Copies of this chain bind each other. A is one copy, B any other.
Amino acid sequence: MNSASRPSGRRPDQMRNIRFTRNYTRYAEGSVLVEFGDTRVVCTATVSDQVPKFIKGKTQGWVTAEYGMLPRSTSERTIREAARGKQGGRTLEIQRLIGRSLRSAVNLKGIPGYAVTVDCDVIQADGGTRTASISGGFVALHEAVTQLANSHCIPFIPVRNFVAAVSVGIVNNIPVLDLDYEEDCQAHTDMNIVMNDADAFIEVQGTAEQQAFSRDEFASMLDLASLGVREVIRQQKLCLDK
């Protein structure tokens, strides 16, 4: 296992540079630009007092997410979903994943009557857009519910725990952390893992692209994920403490 195996020259357990830039846009209740290397995603959190129907009458709130890519965030231009007239399966799958992950981060009973929509829009994609979206979306969500608490709309900040995500995979038979696009294309297995700051699992989505993976490989990937998530959460905390 040597670093020569990664196109970027990174060690197998090395994340790309991660950066969270708060207050990236001026209108949203929470707004952050998250960068995982060359992957750049704008995450905004919008607070509304219009809760979805299935929540009405319950003493709780809701958190949901939407995901999109700018047409030329990718190396080949991707057709604009608004022009196609529908969101594709991949988009729906990703935004469902982001939504579930972020809901696990807050106590929904702590935001009664409020709905928070986290929009994750990819400006530039170089692998890992969904894990960057979850990690950045958490920061935007944290900002938004903190603002709700600060303005006394709710009694306290209802964050249960920090939530972050990383991708892991098997490239050239070696388990690696935080795949960029080039690695993603070569990977035999690609897995997205969402964890919290108690080192517990929230979502696991793994796919063997060409060959199935063993229980041992699985364990190695989980080890890497745990390492990576810890690093992302460290950055989230630094950013939110500023």
Q: Which residues of A contact B (CB under 8 A)?
A: 25-28, 31, 38, 42, 44, 46, 48, 66, 68, 70-75, 77, 80-93, 95-96, 100, 104, 117, 119, 121, 123-124, 161, 191, 195-196, 198-208, 211-215, 218, 222
Closest chain B CB from A24 CB (angstroms): 8
Contact B77 A48 (CB under 8 A): yes
Contacts of A204 in B (CB 8 A): 191, 204-206, 218
Interface pairs A-B: 5 shortest CB-CB: A200-B212, A89-B92, A81-B82, A44-B72, A204-B206
Copies in the complex: 6
Contact B206 A201 (CB under 8 A): yes
Q: List 26 A-B contacts (CB under 8 A).
A: A25-B70, A25-B72, A25-B73, A25-B124, A27-B72, A27-B73, A27-B74, A28-B72, A42-B123, A68-B70, A68-B82, A71-B119, A77-B119, A82-B82, A82-B91, A89-B95, A89-B96, A100-B207, A200-B211, A201-B208, A201-B212, A201-B214, A203-B206, A204-B205, A204-B218, A218-B222
Contact B27 A42 (CB under 8 A): no
- Interface residue from B28, B72, B85, B201 paired with A119 (Cβ < 8 Å): B72
Known contacts being A25-B73, A222-B215, is A93 close to B92, with CB within 8 Å?
A: yes
Closest chain B CB from A206 CB (angstroms): 4
CA distance A185 to B70 in the complex (A): 28
Contacts of A28 in B (CB 8 A): 72, 77
Minimum CB distance partner of A198 in chain B: B212
Contacts of A72 in B (CB 8 A): 25, 27-28, 31, 44, 46, 119
CA distance A146 to B90 in the complex (A): 32
- Which of A82, A123, A213 gathers most chain B CB within 10 Å? A82
Contacts of A200 in B (CB 8 A): 208, 211-214
Known contacts being A200-B212, A212-B104, is A93 close to B91, with CB within 8 Å?
A: no
Contact A83 B66 (CB under 8 A): yes
Contacts of A77 in B (CB 8 A): 28, 46, 48, 117, 119
